[in-house]
Amino acid sequence: MYYDVISSLPQLPYFTRAERLPITPLRLEQRLRRLRPEHAAQLEHARSVLRWRPERLTAHSDESLLAEYAQLLNAELSTQLHEYVSFRRIQQIMLAALRRVHDGVGPWENTRMWSALPHMYHIRQHWDVQDFGLEYLYPWLPQARECLAAGDAIGLEQHLMDLNWRWLSRTAEQQMFAFAAVFAYVFQWEMLKDWLQCDASQAKARFTELIDKVTDVKDS
């Protein structure tokens, strides 16, 4: 049990209401040093795979990300952390499938890796059905699809973050001073950090910079 670690961490505000991080990365790492070695290793491994941004979107193909998830799920994890990793993996699969439908791309090749995933057979069989007929199992799917269709990237991000935030809050409430509460805090903190880094003016400048780069390449 981690009575001291949990009590030493400040309350995290809900990510849309937060104005700043309540604890700095350095301070958080200092507090996490009191974790038992096996828990610290599990958390480090999970953080490297479940990081909200930016590698999630840019540095991975679907296959490489799935391989990382598989490796993490095969490692020795606490029950609650294993459940969260599975939850995130399903979320990624569903989202990737929705994106493919939105882009008019067909389902993935029926490789061994893909066919072993949960719901994959069902998704392939119901590719043309809205939300693959899984909206009763995953009630967040319709809103995610609507955000994708509307090109509302921020709305989708907020929807997914809210989903994960609530999942982690429930986990922490069930075991208030256990390892589950610690990893829930860390993942919520990472989400909050990424959310606070969203800056419209900075994004616009970066977008212009990328456009200029592409235009320069074309001209030369």
Partner 1 sequence: MEMTLLTLGWIGLYAPLALGAVGSMIGCLRGGTAACGAMLEVESGYGRFVGVAAMPSSQTIYGIVVTMALPAAITVDNSPGIFALGALSGVALMFSALAQGAACAAAINASKSKPEVFGISLAPAALIEGFAVFAFVFALVLAGRLPQ
Give the contacts of 181 (CB within 8 A, at least 6 positions apart).
Answer: 2, 6, 171, 172, 175
Q: How far apart are the first and last CA of the chain?
A: 62
- How many Cβ atoms sit within 10 Å of the Cβ of residue 28? 19
With CB under 8 A as the rule, give the number of residues binding partner 1: 13
Minimal distance, residue 178 CB to partner 1, in Å: 11
Stretch that binds partner 1, among 2-10, 95-103, 145-153, 158-166 (CB under 8 A): 2-10
Instruction: For partner 1, give the closer residue by CB, 22 or 107.
Output: 22
Minimal distance, residue 176 CB to partner 1, in Å: 6
Subset of 8-27 contacting partner 1 (CB under 8 A): 8-11
Site track for partner 1 across 26-45, x = CB under 8 A: -----x--------------
Site track for partner 1 across 163-182, x = CB under 8 A: -------------xx-----
In order of 95, 182, 191, the CA distances from 145 in angstroms are 8, 32, 21
Instruction: For partner 1, give the closer residue by CB, 158 or 175.
Output: 175
Rounded Cα gap, residues 106 and 144, in angstroms: 19
3 scored as a contact of partner 1 (CB under 8 A): yes
Rounded Cα gap, residues 70 and 62, in angstroms: 12
